[in-house]
């Protein structure tokens, strides 16, 4: 099975709370690819905000982004950028 996989470290202090979660959903929903985040040993559907928030991902967690589909390349890049920019936070 081929898919794009990238690992990122969550840097923003407050973890993935509601606002970053909705950012992720906004980005992920633009793409047709299946997009999952793997964090704390859980697989999270990046297109479901409840799913993301329920994982309660804390600062400095390691997160694996998995994109699978025709636009996987673009999807993974935009998500990676968003993570690296700390979703515009500290």
Partner 1 sequence: MKITDLLNKNAIQLNGSFKNKEEAIDRLIELMTSNGNISDKEKYRQVVLKREEEGTTGIGEGIAIPHGKTNAVTKPGLSAIIVPNGVEFNSLDGKPAKILFLIAAPDSKDNVHLDVLSRLSTLLMDTEFKNTLLDAKTPEEFLMCIDRAEKEKLDENKNTNDSYEILAITACPTGIAHTYMAAEALEKKGEQLGHKVKVETHGSSGVKNKFTKEEIEKAKAIIIAADTKIDLSRFDGKKLVKARVADGINKPQELIKNALSNNAPIYHSENKQENNSEEKEGIGRSIYKHLMNGVTHMLPFVVGGGILIAIAFLLDDYSINPSNFGMNTPIAAFFKTIGGAAFNVMLYILAGYIAMSIADRPGLAVGFVGGILAVQGTTFASLTDSTITLVSSGFLGALIAGFVGGYIVILLKKICSYLPDSIEGIKTILLYPVFGILLIGIFMLLINPYVAGINTAINNYLSSMGTANKVLLGAILGGMMAVDLGGPINKAAYTFGTGMLASGQYEIMAAVMAGGMVPPLAIAVLATIFPKKIEKKDKQAAYVNYIMGLSFISEGAIPFASSDPLRTIPAFVIGSAVTGALSMVFNCTLMAPHGGIFVIATIGNPLMYLLAILIGTIVSALIMAKLKKNLPEYESQTA
Please pick, among 17, 22, 74, 86, the residue that the annotation labels catalytic.
Answer: 17
d(CA 2, CA 88): 31
Cα–Cα distance list, 77 to 17, 41, 51, 71, 81 (Å): 21, 23, 21, 10, 6
56/81 with CB nearer partner 1: 56
Is 5 one of the catalytic residues?
Answer: no
Using the rule CB under 8 A, give the single segment among 3-11, 31-39, 52-60, 71-79 that binds partner 1: 52-60
CB of 6 to partner 1, least distance (A): 19
Residues 24-43, mask of contacts with partner 1 (x by CB under 8 A)? -xx-----------------
Pick from 34, 27, 46, 38: which is nearest to 70 by CA? 34
d(CA 90, CA 88): 7
Q: Which residues are near partner 1 by CB under 8 A?
A: 13-19, 21-23, 25-26, 48-56, 58-59
Q: Which residues are catalytic?
A: 17
């Amino acid at each position: 099975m081929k898919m794009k996989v990238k690992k990122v470290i969550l840097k923003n202090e407050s973890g993935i709370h509601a606002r970053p979660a909705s950012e992720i959903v906004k980005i992920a929903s633009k793409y047709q690819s299946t997009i999952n985040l793997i964090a704390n040993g859980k697989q999270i559907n990046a297109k479901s905000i409840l799913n993301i928030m329920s994982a309660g991902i804390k600062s400095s967690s390691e997160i694996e982004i998995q994109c699978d589909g025709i636009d996987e390349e673009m999807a993974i890049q935009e998500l990676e950028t968003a993570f690296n920019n700390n979703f515009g936070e500290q």
